[in-house]
Structure formats: structure tokens, C-alpha cells
Chain A
Amino acid sequence: MWRLQLEVRHLEQRAHDLFLQNLIKGTSHLAVGQEAIAAGCATAMRPGDYTFCTYRGHAHTLVRGASMTGVLGELMGKECGLLQGKGGSMHLTDAEKGAMGSYAIIGAHLPIAAGAAWAAQYNKTGAVSFCFFGDGTTNIGAFHEALNFAVIWKLPVVFVCENNFYMEYTPIGEVTAVEHPAADRAGAYGLEPIIVDGNDADAVYRVARAAVDKAVAGDGPSLIEAETYRHYGHSRADPATYRPDKEVEEWMAKDPIPMYRSRLLEFGVPEKVVGDIEKSVLKAVNDATEEAKASPIPRDELALTDVWADGGSAWRN
């Protein structure tokens, strides 16, 4: 779990740096500060489980085992990218690893995750579908449709709201009828309200694990609200000046990375072991960066491939 959180932290910071060097174009939505949720849930998942996430999805894709070079390469628009440069930052996917996509239209992937859970239920595979989304998503229709649907069909899906307290630039409390955007809605769908410290990977793991057990037992979906905070703005374009200094300071003191490090040391994990993991993660990110930089840009002809299952894009004979 320590390694997973570090991988996300360093990869996201590297993405930020590469943006500043103009080696990554477009936009990106970093999960710096929110690593514990991705790491805690991924640790509770089994091979064969599914992840569906949002455009803030580098973390969730990486923690399922996607290659760093593939992630960075995709951000940089290189052929080595997970999607060969056809998706970009907001659509990272590694289907073989169970990372079934990053979705950039708010709410869309909640019913899609329910659909994957339906297939698992129908085929009796025992797979569980995890669906990550932000606090802002709780105010769009698809959230409510998906929750109702998943409950009535008793689908093995775990909905995880990463409440970072801001829907893009606006405090979530200013635009939401209830205090806890996900948990306070759980009752409307007959679900238990679950709120967890999203900066504590162990706490996240425990609630995620319980939700997996419930899903596998055939007892249907769970809705988890994990409270957290992003260290950067909503996206590359946002310096996040709208957040009060004091609030930022308080949350920085709850940074999941140093918190987890102290816990490991407290539990008696030798400093050297902790440090070696840090070094090896940093090396892996450095290596991946160089590999991605060295990768060629996508071949032009890729633009016309893979619209259809036959690999092509023909719309006429």
C-alpha cells in the first residue's frame, strides 16, 4: 500500500512537471493528495475485479497494475501510451488489468460499472465492479439512476465517492442539498451511509474490503464516501486560489503520504525498508519518463483505426 501511494504521488508530480515543460499537452486532473483512496481500494480488489473511474484517473489505472510508461506515454501522446495516443489523460484504460476506463463525462460511468457488475452476476464470475467518482457527481442524474438500478438488481458494485469538497471550483456544500453529498443520499436507496477518512489508506482498505465481501455474498452494492483533498487545482488550468489558506494548511497536515510513512515506522518497519521503496518507486518513475520520452509519436494511420471491431473505420462499401 505504501508503494502504491508513492507510485501515484511521484507519477502525478512527474505529470505536473512534464506539463510545465510542455511535454504533456491538453489537460490533466491530478490526484495528488487523494492517493490513499486508490491504494486502499486497489488492495481490497482481486484480479478480475473491475475499475471504472473518472478523468481524474491516472491513480486508479496505475494501481491496478498498468505500466507507468504506458500512462506517461499516453499523457505525452506517444505510441507507447496505453491507448496509443488515442485517448489521452482523461481516458486511461488497461482492460487486461481490469482498469475498464476513465470517463470524462460526469456520472456516465456509474451505470456502466453497474453493467459490468451485471455481467459478473449473470456469469457468476464473482467479480466486483469498483466505480470512483467525485463529490460533484452526486448531483447529476446518472448517479441516482445507477444507484437505484444497482440496488434493485443487487449488483456486485462498489461506488466510491472521493469527496474532495470542491466540484471543480465551487465548494460542494454551496450546491448540494445535504452535508455529505454521497452518504446522506445512501438512505434514499436503502444503503448504509459510509463515511471514511480518505487520506488513511488502511481505513479505506477496511471499508472497501467489507464492501467486496458484501458484493461477493450477493448482498448488492455499497456506497462509500471517502473524504479527501486535492493538493493541486481541479485541472491544469486551475491554481485553486478559491480555497481558504487555513483550510489548505489543515489538509496539507493530513497529507496521506507522510502520515502513512510515520505509521509504518511506528509499526516497526525499518526506515531502510521504507526508504528503499521510496527510492525504487522514484527510479521506476524516472525510467518510465525516459522510456516515454524516447517512444515515437503514434503512426498517422492509427487515427483511422479501431472505430469498428474489424480494426477499421469504414462507413460504406
Chain B
Amino acid sequence: MAELTYREAVADAIAQEMERDDKVVFLGEDIAKAGGVFKTTVGLYDKFGPDRVRDTPISEQAILGAAMGAAMTGLRPIAEIMFSDFFAVCWDIVVNQIAKTRYMTGGQVTMPLVIRSANGGGVRFGAQHSQSIENWAMMIPGLKVIAPSTPADVKGLLAASIRDPDPVIFFEQKSLYGDKGEIPDGEHVDELGTAKVVRDGADAVIYALAAMVPRSIRAAERLEADLGIRASVVDVRSLVPLDTRTIFSEFRKSGRAFTVEENPRLCGWGAEISSLITEECFWDMDLPVTRITTPHIPLASADNLEDQMIPSVDRIYETVRAGLD
């Protein structure tokens, strides 16, 4: 087992897949010679050369349009949108073109591409560089949506995304880039559409995504240490496809569910999980599903203002404690 950071795992996954398949190509702003503004793609340009790792102008529509056209005609492109907020300037290509074309053409074309993007807050960048936009992507039929929380999952799920025949939006949480973790030796490929139970517990279940996973684990540890409450934590990992099997089986152990979402409240992924549990696990429910989210606001940049808005370990701890009281 090697220890890598979350950011290093990105380049590690891309390198693994580029070595395996020469149809894998990579484009984006500052991703080649500069190694990415978050240093997530360092070394790829030197290793694979300018034909496969290409810098682009600041032209998000061109980046994603090119990725789509190349995917339709035989390549497996990886495109980087530097900050997920920038999806707003190329959303037509994502929503109307990439997501729909396979369906509209009666399956004539296949769209094996990955769009990677730095998502989420916690680094004081203000409202236009800090959004959690996984819900934007989740509500569009035709897109797979992945958001890992650990270096091992970055590598395994990114590799799986690159191999997948459908378009995948891959959200990297920018506040996690420095986190370290063990990565299995040799080729590592995970499976899309699978959630992971990362902590066992029979008193409640906390569903979390990306940066909210380590916070939920810490809150669960404190709940057990302080109060003897044993909460399980499920890393949802894959919003589309959604692993309802794991979500439901973990729910049925306690009948008490909490979602921890970095996104602003309305239409967050936790609302869908809450709705599914209500429809399909109603007779196992012991408490209403409680959602812990960022309030319905754009994010502020000052330390205290941003920190009090994004769900914290304290808020998760307190909400679960009060819910079970």
C-alpha cells in the first residue's frame, strides 16, 4: 500500500488509464505544462506528451464540445473544468448535448467521457469558486455523477469513470486535496453506483458525500465516545447511479437517518434519499429523515462566515444527538 494525497490520486488514476488505453486523452486549462492549478495533474504531460495531454484556452464550451465530439468518434476524453462553478458557462454542452445525444439518436452514438472538476467550499474562495453543484448534475438524465471522499476512492472511481461507456461528472472536493490515504498497490479500479459503509452502527445512519464524510465520521466517533450512540456512516460516493440497496439496508438497521450535504438546502441529494426512504422503507422508520445542509445561500468567504454555513462536526454531532434524544 502506498500513501498518496487526494490530489496525487487524481494523476495516479489518469496515468494508470492512459497507460492501459491509448484512446484516453486529457484536455483542460493549465492541466498540461502547469500540472493543474490544484496540482492534480502533475507529471502527466511529461509522461504522455502533448498529443494526449493538451492545454486549452479559457473556453469551457470548446473544451466540453471537443470532448464530446472526440468521444462520439472513438476517443475516451477526460476534460477538466477547473472550478465546478464554471459549469455554468458550458452547461448547454453538458445538459443538452452530452447528456441527451445518445438517447435522442436512438443509441446511435456512445459518449465515453469524464468531466473532472474541483467542487465545494471550505477554502475561502467566495461564492463563485466554492459551490457544491453535484445536485445540478444529478437532476439531468444521462449523466453519471461521482464524488469521492478518500484518495483510494479518487483513484478507483476515476479509473472506473474513464472506463465507463457513459458520460461521468467527477467531482473532486477541493478542501480534501491535501488529505492523505492508503491506495492499494497495482491496478486499482472501483465500481460506479456503489455506496460504502465506512463506519458501522445500529443506532442511526448518517449519509454523507465528499468532504462531509470525514466530518460525519468524526461526529460519529464523538457521539459514541460521549454518549454511547453508535451511528453508522455511509459514503454515498455515487449519486447516479444511486446505490439504494446499500442505502436501504443500512437504514433498516436503525430506522433513523441523517443526511449531511454541503450543497445549499433546496433539492439537495439528501432530499431524494429522504423521499426514497419514505416511499420504500416507511414501515422501518423510527424518526423522520433529518437533513443537515448548508443553508440556502451563496457561500461567503470570511473564515467564520463560511465555516458556520457548511455542516461542521459540531453541527452533525448536535443534530444527531438532538434527533435521538
Contacts and interface: CB of A to CB of B under 8 A. Distances in A.
Interface of A: 50, 52, 82-84, 86-87, 91, 93-96, 100-101, 103-105, 107-120, 122-123, 127, 129, 141-142, 145-146, 148-149, 152-153, 302, 305-311, 313-317
Given A119-B74, A315-B240, A317-B245, A146 B108 contact: no
B73 A116 contact: yes
A317 B105 contact: no
Contact of A83 (B68, B77, B93, B106): B106
A142 B66 CA distance: 11
B128 interface: no
B193 interface: yes
Contact of B70 (A96, A119, A152): A119
A109 B81 CA distance: 19
Interface stretch (B37-45, B54-62, B208-216, B307-315): B54-62
B73 A306 contact: no
A149 B56 contact: yes
Given A108-B92, A149-B59, A86 B103 contact: yes
B61 A119 contact: no
A115 B61 contact: no
A146 B245 contact: no
A114 B66 contact: yes
B62 to A, nearest CB: 4
Contacts of A105: 92, 96-97
A149 B75 contact: no
Contact of A112 (B57, B68, B110, B166): B68
B274 to A, nearest CB: 15
Given A112-B65, A316-B244, A83 B75 contact: no
30 contacts: A82-B106, A100-B69, A104-B96, A108-B92, A109-B97, A111-B61, A112-B68, A112-B69, A112-B97, A114-B62, A115-B68, A115-B69, A116-B72, A118-B70, A119-B75, A122-B25, A122-B70, A127-B73, A141-B61, A142-B61, A142-B62, A145-B57, A145-B62, A146-B61, A149-B66, A152-B57, A306-B102, A307-B102, A313-B141, A317-B242
A187 B114 CA distance: 34
Nearest to A103: B97
Given A101-B72, A146-B65, A315-B240, 17 more contacts: A83-B104, A87-B104, A93-B104, A95-B108, A96-B108, A100-B69, A101-B109, A105-B92, A105-B96, A108-B97, A112-B65, A112-B68, A118-B75, A119-B73, A142-B61, A306-B103, A309-B112
Interface of B: 25, 51, 54, 56-57, 59, 61-75, 77, 92-93, 96-97, 101-110, 112, 141-142, 165-166, 193, 240-245, 276
A111 B66 contact: yes
A111 B65 contact: yes
Contact of A317 (B64, B69, B243): B243
Given A108-B97, A119-B73, A122-B25, A100 B109 contact: yes
B51 A122 contact: yes
B77 to A, nearest CB: 8
A142 B63 CA distance: 11
Nearest to A79: B106
B89 to A, nearest CB: 8
A35 to B, nearest CB: 24
Contacts of B141: 307, 313, 315
